[in-house]
Amino acid sequence: MARLRRIVFNQRAIPFTVLLLAGCLTTMTGGVVSPVFPEMVESLDLNPRWAGMFLSMHALTSALMTPVMGLVADRIGKMKVMLPSLVLYSLFGISTTFLTSFPLLLTSRALLGAASGGIAAATIGLLSNMYEGESRSRVLGYATSAMTTSAILFPLFGGWVGNNDWRYAFYLYGAGIVLAAIAYPVFRGVRSKASGVLPTGQGAELRVVLKQPQIWLIYSLIGAAATVVYAIVIYAPLYLKDAIGATPDFNGFVLAVRAVGAAIVAAIGATWFARQLGINRAIALGFMLMGTTLLTIPFLTQVPLIVLAAILFGIGFGTITPNLYNLLAGHTPSNLRASVLGLGTGFNSLGQFISPLLLGPVWKFAGLPMVFVAATGVAAIASFLSLAQTSKTEL
C-alpha cells in the first residue's frame, strides 16, 4: 500500500508542480512591475489620478475572463485553455516594453489580464479536482504558499532587473512561453485524466449552486481581500519613495517580505487556524491582522519596522486565502469547481481592479497615508461579515 501511494504521488508530482508554476504566473502579473512603478510614472509622465489603473487594468479583464475560461475549461478540457493562455501571457506582457501611449499601455495590460484569467481558471480547476476533503484544503494551502512564495521572488526580480531601466522588468513575462513548452509534454499523456467535459444539465446545476447566499459572501470576501492587498502593491512603493526615498530594488524587497508570512501560514498555519477557531473566525482574524498592520504604515520610516509590518500583513493574507477557497470548494460539486472557483478568482481580480478606483481619489484629495486608513476600513468590514456567518455555519 505504501509503495502504491508513492507511485500515485510520483505520478501526480510533476503535473502538480507544473500547475503550481502556472498559478504562480498569475501573481507575477502585477507584482513584477510594482517595484518599478514609481519610475514608470515619472518616465512616462502618467497622471497620478489614473496611474494606478496601469497596475490594476489586467485585473478587470482577468475578472471577466476567468469565469468564462472556467466554463470553457470544463467543456473542452483545462489544458486546452491553459497552454494558449501561457503563450499569450508572455506576448502581451512583453509588448508593454515597446509602448509609451497610456491607452495602448492599458490595452496591453487588459490583454495580459485576459490571458492570466485563462491560466487561473484552468490551474485551479485541475488542482481542486485532483484532491478531496482535508487533502484538498492542504493542497490549496500549498498552492497559495507557492503563489505567495513567487510573490516574494517576483518583486525582487522586478526591482533588481528594473533598477537600471524599468522596461527590463517586463521581459520576465517571457516565463509563460517557457512553462508552456514544459507543460505540453507533461500533460499530453494524462490529458484524459486532467480535462473534464460538462454534462448536458451542467448549466442548470451551476445556477442552483450560484443561488446559495454563502457563495456570494465568499466571493465578496475574496474581492475585499484583493482590494486590501492591492493597496499595498500599488501605493506602498509610492509612499516609501516619498517617505524614505526608496529605490526599485528596495521596494521590491519590501513587497517580497510581505509574502514571507503569507507563504508560511498558507502552507502550514491556515488549516490549523481553521481547525482551532473555525473557518469563518480564522478568515476574520486574517482580515483583522491585515487591517491592523495597514494602520501602522504611515508611521513607519525604519526598515526593520517596515519589514515586520509587511510580514504580519502577509500572515493575515495567508490565513484568509486557502480558507476562503476551501470554503468555496466545499459548497461546490467536483464537476463544477473549475467554473465556481474560476468565478472566485475572477472576484479576486475584480477586487484588484476596484482598489485604485476606490483609493485613487483618497490619494489625490487626502494624501497617501489616508489610503492605508481607507483600506483598513475595507478589511474591518470584511472581518465583521465573516464573523457574522459563524453562527450560521459553525454553531
Distances (CA, A) of 30 to 170, 194, 232, 353: 10, 28, 12, 11
Q: Which of residues 309 and 339 earns the better pLDDT score?
A: 309
Whether residue 335 is predicted with pLDDT greater than 90 in this model: the reply is: no
d(CA 70, CA 390): 29
Per-residue DSSP letter, 169: G
Place of cell 449552486: 209
Backbone angles phi and psi of 200, in degrees to 5: -60, -40
**Overall average pLDDT of the 112-139 stretch:** 74
Place of cell 474591518: 380
* Grid cell at residue 203: 448549466
Q: Which of residues 151 and 106 earns the better pLDDT score?
A: 106
**pLDDT at residue number 380:** 93
Whether residue 108 is predicted with pLDDT greater than 60 in this model: the reply is: yes
**Helix (H), strand (E), coil (C) string for 66-94:** HHHHHHHHHHHCHHHHHHHHHHHHHHHHH
pLDDT more than 90, % of the chain: 12
**What residue type is 14 in one-letter code?**
I
**pLDDT at residue number 27:** 78
Under the banding of pLDDT at 50, 70 and 90, the label for residue 134 is low
Please provide the distance, in angstroms rounded to a whole number, between the alpha carbons at the two ends of the chain.
Answer: 38
In angstroms and rounded to an integer, the radius of gyration of the C-alpha atoms of the chain is: 20
pLDDT tens for 304-320 read 888 888 888 888 888 88
Backbone angles phi and psi of 201, in degrees to 5: -90, 15
**pLDDT at residue number 191:** 44
**What residue type is 7 in one-letter code?**
I
Q: Which residues make Cβ contacts (< 8 Å) with residue 149, sequence separation at least 6?
A: 24, 259, 263
Cβ atoms within 10 Å of 365's Cβ, excluding its own: 9
Whether residue 11 is predicted with pLDDT greater than 60 in this model: the reply is: no
Per-residue DSSP letter, 21: H
**pLDDT at residue number 71:** 79
Distances (CA, A) of 338 to 121, 204, 250, 331, 378: 6, 16, 38, 13, 28
The Cα angle at residue 168 between residues 162 and 172, in degrees rounded to 5: 100
The Cα angle at residue 341 between residues 92 and 202, in degrees rounded to 5: 110
Q: Round the average pLDDT of the chain to a whole number and report it.
A: 78
d(CA 113, CA 59): 6
Per-residue DSSP letter, 269: I
pLDDT tens for 52-94 read 788 878 878 887 887 788 778 777 777 788 899 999 999 999 9
* Grid cell at residue 42: 515619472
- Structural contact between residues 354 and 222, judged by C-beta atoms closer than 8 angstroms: no
pLDDT tens for 188-205 read 754 434 344 445 456 677
d(CA 348, CA 336): 19
d(CA 388, CA 372): 24
pLDDT more than 70, % of the chain: 80
Under the banding of pLDDT at 50, 70 and 90, the label for residue 3 is very low
Range in 18-27, 96-105, 268-277 the model is least confident about = 268-277
d(CA 67, CA 62): 9
209, burial (CB in 10 Å: exposed 0-12, middle 13-18, buried 19+) = middle
| Domains of the chain (ranges, CATH numbers) | 2-393 (1.20.1250.20)
**What residue spans of the chain are helical by DSSP H?**
2-31, 37-44, 48-76, 78-95, 102-130, 133-161, 175-188, 191-194, 202-210, 213-244, 248-264, 270-277, 279-296, 303-330, 337-366, 368-388, 390-393
Under the banding of pLDDT at 50, 70 and 90, the label for residue 9 is very low
**What residue type is 46 in one-letter code?**
L
* Grid cell at residue 34: 510594482
> Dihedral angle at the C-alpha atoms of 261, 296, 353, 68, nearest 10 degrees?
30
